[in-house]
């Protein structure tokens, strides 16, 4: 049974446009010298060339494969097949009804064969490629007689900049034509485009919008990609449709020119995890609601929002190309508007990659030299170090300097993902793989990293059963998503990182020895900030990065304070402190104590008290020891102005006397912190348990106490507490979750 052309349902552009499209295609074929009875060119690509083409289009297939599987379910039993081609019309992959696939093979509708118009005449794939729009070619609409048993629906797949990536097509027996097929193919192509966009622009700010909020998060949502300078860099098809713009017209717009807002306003609005969608309005009055998405790593580089409602909104400072290269992983830099350039401009462009990390410390220098030697050598790297020491930055720098730099760098924090979800996150899953799984399934992070680098942060927190699966992936270089029988080949460089002592974990049976040896081709240990000799240069580099138009100096008093701090949050904490200070000091030539946040000064004060208390207790214990009489208990006074320490059995000299004497690890004589003399406080970690010298308290216990105190001060708000402590929210969760002594990194 053949279907009359005019009865073909739902051609993408209406019946008249469809007739014209086919007519023009036939004319092109005639002009190309093709004839209708011509024996089609059946010559497929050689196997090796097909493999090359598949390799070149691996990412397209990665994003298309789950969508094709889903589509296959919808068309099962309809005598049809699904075809994915590259941007030239060469078939890369096909799946479908076995019987029909064999029939289609007779007209060379199979991998390795090119279906561009010039080789196969009018057909949905070739004509969609030419017309750059979804195309239906039914039965005798095919130019060549041999293909007229087919009905084919094809949709081109574009990247966010409008570049053609390939074509998705469903071809079937023309007698089994179904009017919904074209719609399914168009939807599937959009899904692939959205996957591609979200993956490739993961590090960039994306706005997901629609005029109806319930459509945000669906296939109908518009997505625009926003650059650090506020320029719109790309969009999905639904965005262009909703905005009524072409891709080129969209890329000539900025957030301000199109929606009347700024990146800073967006960042500020969405900083709260509970933020509602933001209202955006076009110049013609049309309104949309938008959610913003971006990688957490990107957000980590953004400064806190405006300090108060009255303060001027933060604006993005455009960076001159090449003038201020970003450190590895950094994306955006903010400054206050209207601020005169501070007198101390950075002397030159900041180095990038591993060179960014070289600030003169000998331990770091050794780390960088060793890291350089293994670049492109297929040697797995394991980075050890406390939280915030720059493990991810180092991993990113290694990736940047490798020949994988153009491919994705995918970071997974094994400690921040609930144990039950790590497997799905890493390996991906098929539709219906487990209760609560997204209907369409998901690509795992390992597959997303294909061709690039997978950074497994906090690898020591990976549950044992998953360690076995990860080991298999590393050995066999292929991944099998949950609920799938098929494995996907992957080519990844793996960098692991942890703050834990993996050797001890192996001994306790908590970490697989075989995985450990797979991961530790080279082990690099990043020293904590308190052990580094380059604090001053690191601080200046962070400031230069924060204030591209000229960084303020750090006053000697502040630097002296920094030098004495023990930085439990390491460089992350330092960066947070400097970021706030730079905003407070805007327009002034140097950062003084007055620009430091009270939280930080409070922490420094508390630390000084702990150190003094520890020293006092040690001294008291030393005094008590000859008599072997009583255990030492140090009672802390109730507040800063309270009486000096008292130890059982006798008066202990006032703190001031000790401070004045200049205690080892404490403050030198006469040091004044935050305008007040350093004095002890009740409830500090150094308030030792009776019968136990403070030094016997583990670092972990002290950390827990500090975290608890910060949480109390922040009213239980973990984000706020993490800001105050300068450690990540994950670290807080982790430390509270494992509220037991942790082993230090060896
Ligand atoms: N050498 C450096 N110079 C400037 N900034 C740095 C340096 N090292 C780290 N940082 C900054 O410190 C912060 C923490 O770094 P990073 O996330 O790499 O640490 P991490 O060790 O991976 O932390 P965690 O263990 O908590 O995941 C980031 O903002 C990073 O940019």
CATH number at residue 367: 3.40.50.300
> Is position 412 within any domain?
yes
Q: Is 575 in the pocket of ligand 1 (CB under 6 A)?
A: yes
pLDDT of the residue at 66: 86
| Ligand 1 atom with the shortest distance to the CA of 538 | 3
Q: How far is the CA of 411 from the centre of ligand 1 (A)?
A: 13
Q: Looking at the predicted structure, is the pLDDT value of residue 106 above 90?
A: no
Mean pLDDT, rounded, for 302-320: 28
Band of residue 257 on the pLDDT scale cut at 50, 70, 90: very high
Query: Which of 596, 621, 643 marks a domain boundary?
Result: 596
Distance of CA 223 to the CA centre of its chain: 18
- Judge whether 642 lies within some domain: no
Q: Does the pLDDT at position 104 exceed 90?
A: no
Token pair listed for 203: 């590090």
Question: Alpha-carbon distance 268 to 309, whole Å?
Answer: 11
| Structural domain boundaries enclosing 582 | 530-596
CB atoms within 10 A of CB 504: 16
Q: Please report, for residues 129, 192, 206, 234, 264, the alpha-carbon distance to residue 227 in angstroms, rounded to integers and kept in the order given.
A: 29, 22, 9, 9, 12
| Pair (166, 65) in one structural domain | yes
Ligand 1 neighbour 305 (Cβ under 6 A): no
Q: How far apart, in whole angstroms, are the C-alpha atoms of residue 297 and residue 204? A: 10
Please report whether residue 650 resides in a domain.
no
Cβ of residue 389 lying under 6 Å from some atom of ligand 1: yes
| Residue 387, ligand 1, Cβ within 6 A | yes
343: in domain: no
pLDDT for 340 beyond 80: no
- Confirm or reject: Cβ of 331 under 6 Å from ligand 1: no
pLDDT of 374:
92
- Candidate of 346, 352, 382, 393 to mutate for ligand 1, largest count of ligand atoms within 8 Å of Cβ: 393
Expressed in angstroms and rounded, the spacing between residue 591 Cα and the centre of ligand 1 is 22
**Distance separating alpha carbons of residues 655 and 648, to the nearest angstrom:** 16
Judge whether 249 and 297 are in contact, CB under 8 Å.
no
Going by alpha carbons, the residue nearest to atom 4 of ligand 1 is 542
Instruction: Give the angle subtended at the CA of 72 by the CAs of 68 and 74, to the nearest 5°.
Output: 120
Mean pLDDT over residues 243-270, rounded? 88
Instruction: Please indicate, yes or no, whether residues 534 and 423 belong to a single structural domain of this protein.
Output: no
Atom in ligand 1 nearest the alpha carbon of residue 330: 31
Q: In total, how many domains does the chain have?
A: 4
List, as one string, the DSSP characters of 310-356.
TSPPPEE-PPPTTTSPPPTT----EE-TTPPPPS---SSPPP-HHHH
Is residue 71 domain-shared with residue 154, that is, in the same domain?
A: yes
State which of 571, 573, 729 you would mutate to test the pocket of ligand 1, scoring each by most atoms of that ligand within 8 A of its C-beta.
571
In ligand 1, which atom is closest to the CA atom of 300?
Answer: 29
3-state helix, strand, coil in the chain (%, to 5): 40, 15, 40
Are 140 and 277 members of one domain? no
> How far does residue 572's CA lie from ligand 1's centre (Å)?
5
Give the separation between CA 137 and CA 25, rounded to whole angstroms: 11
User: What SS3 state is found at 723?
Assistant: helix
CA 319 to ligand 1 centroid distance, Å = 22
CATH of the domain at 226: 3.30.450
Pull the structure tokens for residue 647: 């130890």
> What is the spatial distance between Cα 220 and Cα 183, in angstroms, rounded to a whole number?
13
Checking if the pLDDT of 341 tops 60, the result is no
Q: What is the pLDDT averaged over residues 17-44?
A: 84
State yes or no: ipTM above 0.90.
Answer: yes
Choose which residue among 387, 388, 417 to substitute to test ligand 1 binding: the one with the highest number of ligand atoms within 8 A of its C-beta.
388
Q: Of the candidates 483, 500, 526, which is a domain's last residue?
A: 526
513 or 4, greater pLDDT: 513
d(CA 363, CA 248): 50
Atom of ligand 1 nearest to the CA of 383: 21
Residues 592 and 452 in one domain: no
Other beta carbons less than 10 A from residue 340's beta carbon = 10
């Amino acid at each position: 049974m053949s279907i009359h052309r005019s009865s073909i349902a739902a051609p993408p552009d209406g019946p008249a446009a469809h007739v014209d499209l086919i007519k023009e295609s036939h004319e092109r074929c005639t002009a190309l010298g093709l004839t209708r009875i011509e024996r089609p060119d059946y010559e497929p690509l050689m196997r090796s060339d097909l493999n090359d083409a598949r390799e070149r289009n691996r990412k397209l297939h990665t994003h298309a494969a789950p969508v094709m599987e889903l589509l296959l379910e919808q068309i099962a039993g309809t005598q049809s097949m699904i075809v994915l081609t590259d941007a030239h019309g060469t078939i890369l992959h096909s799946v479908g009804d076995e019987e029909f696939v064999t029939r289609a093979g007779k007209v060379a509708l199979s991998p390795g064969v090119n279906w561009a118009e010039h080789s196969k005449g009018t057909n949905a794939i070739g004509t969609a490629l030419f017309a750059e729009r979804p195309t239906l070619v039914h039965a005798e609409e095919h130019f060549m007689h041999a293909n007229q048993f087919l009905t084919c629906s094809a949709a081109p797949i574009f990247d966010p900049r409008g570049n053609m990536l390939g074509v998705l097509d469903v071809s079937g027996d023309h007698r089994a034509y179904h009017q919904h097929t074209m719609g399914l193919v168009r939807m599937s192509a959009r899904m692939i485009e959205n996957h591609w966009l979200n993956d490739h622009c993961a590090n960039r700010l994306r706005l997901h919008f629609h005029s109806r909020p319930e459509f945000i998060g669906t296939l109908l949502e518009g997505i625009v990609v926003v650059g650090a300078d506020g320029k719109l860099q790309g969009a999905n098809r639904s965005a262009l449709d909703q905005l009524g713009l072409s891709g080129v017209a969209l890329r000539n717009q900025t957030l301000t020119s199109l929606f009347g807002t700024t990146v800073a306003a967006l960042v500020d609005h969405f900083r709260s995890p509970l933020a509602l969608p933001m209202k955006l309005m076009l110049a013609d009055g049309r309104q949309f609601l938008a959610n913003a998405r971006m990688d957490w790593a990107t957000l980590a580089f953004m400064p806190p929002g405006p300090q108060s409602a009255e303060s001027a909104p933060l604006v993005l400072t455009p960076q001159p190309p090449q003038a201020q290269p970003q450190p590895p992983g950094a994306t955006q830099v903010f400054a206050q508007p209207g601020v005169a350039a501070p007198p101390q401009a950075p002397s030159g462009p900041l180095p990038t990659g591993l060179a960014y990390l070289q600030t003169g410390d000998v331990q770091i220098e050794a780390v960088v030299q060793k890291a350089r030697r293994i670049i492109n050598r297929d040697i797995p790297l394991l980075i050890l170090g406390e939280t915030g020491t720059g493990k991810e930055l180092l991993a990113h720098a290694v990736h940047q300097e490798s020949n994988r730099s153009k491919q994705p760098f995918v970071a997974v924090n094994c400690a921040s993902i609930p144990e039950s979800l790590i497997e799905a996150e890493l390996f991906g899953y098929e539709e219906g793989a487990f209760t609560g799984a997204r209907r369409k399934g998901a690509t795992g992070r390992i597959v997303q990293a294909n061709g690039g680098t997978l950074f497994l942060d906090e690898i020591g927190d990976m549950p044992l059963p998953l360690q076995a699966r990860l080991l298999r992936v590393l050995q066999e270089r292929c991944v099998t998503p949950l609920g799938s029988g098929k494995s996907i080949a992957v080519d990844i460089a793996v960098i692991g990182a942890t703050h834990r002592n993996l050797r001890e974990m192996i001994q306790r049976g908590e970490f697989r020895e075989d995985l450990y040896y797979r991961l530790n081709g080279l082990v690099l240990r990043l020293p904590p900030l308190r052990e580094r000799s380059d604090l001053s240069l690191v601080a200046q580099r962070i400031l230069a990065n924060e204030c591209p138009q000229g960084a303020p100096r750090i006053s000697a008093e502040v630097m002296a304070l920094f030098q004495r701090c023990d930085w439990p949050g390491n460089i992350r904490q330092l960066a947070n402190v400097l970021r706030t200070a730079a905003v407070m000091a805007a327009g002034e030539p140097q950062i003084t104590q007055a620009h430091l946040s009270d939280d930080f000064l409070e922490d420094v004060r508390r630390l000084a008290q702990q150190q003094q208390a520890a020293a006092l207790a040690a001294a008291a214990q030393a005094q008590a020891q000859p008599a072997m009489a009583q255990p030492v208990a140090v009672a802390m006074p109730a507040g800063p102005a309270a009486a000096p320490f008292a130890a059982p059995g006798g008066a202990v000299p006032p703190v001031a006397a000790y401070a004045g004497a200049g205690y080892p690890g404490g403050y030198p004589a006469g040091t004044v912190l935050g305008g007040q003399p350093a004095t002890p406080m009740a409830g500090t970690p150094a308030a030792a348990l009776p019968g136990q010298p403070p030094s016997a308290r583990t670092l972990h216990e002290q950390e827990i106490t500090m975290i608890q105190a910060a949480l109390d001060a922040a009213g239980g708000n973990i984000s706020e507490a993490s800001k105050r402590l300068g450690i990540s929210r994950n670290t807080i969760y982790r430390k509270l979750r494992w509220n037991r002594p942790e082993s230090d990194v060896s």
